[in-house]
Amino acid sequence: MNNQMIGSLAFLLGVVIAILAGAGIASFAPSVAVWVPLVLVVLGLVVGFLNVSNKDMQPFLIAGIALIAIGIPGAALSTIPVIGILMVKILSAVSTFAAPAVLVVSLKAFYNLSKASLK
């Protein structure tokens, strides 16, 4: 299995776990719910290391920052009747998954910029 396939599977698995965790599925098994944030962070790191090429860094960082900003608890989404709170919980879990990937890619971009300035 190559790195691109592993990265793609990590992304898909991370999004699915984040949606299920945000929807409260993990709360039915408290012993599992404790591990969900750690799993999301590890999958986010895998995505950051394996999925984002140099040419895709800028769009990925813009999308990641926007996603994390929307996922901040207490955002305006919570005012939407019926589904607002659910949306905030799901986006919070997705942010837990996205933040490590954004960190890795931003460090890669920073490294590339500093390397280019030394030439």
Q: Which range among 5-9, 11-15, 30-34 has the greatest average pLDDT?
A: 11-15
Condensed to tens digits (0 to 9), the pLDDT of residues 16-68 reads 999 998 888 766 677 777 889 999 999 999 999 998 888 899 999 999 998 88
Residue of 19, 39, 41, 28 lying closest to 90 (CA atoms)? 19
Alpha carbon separation from 114 to 51, 107, 117 (Å, rounded): 22, 10, 5
Residues with Cβ within 8 Å of residue 55, at least 6 apart in sequence: none
95: domain range?
3-117
Number of domains the chain is built from? 1
| DSSP letter assigned to residue 24 | T
Condensed to tens digits (0 to 9), the pLDDT of residues 71-93 reads 776 667 778 888 888 888 888 89
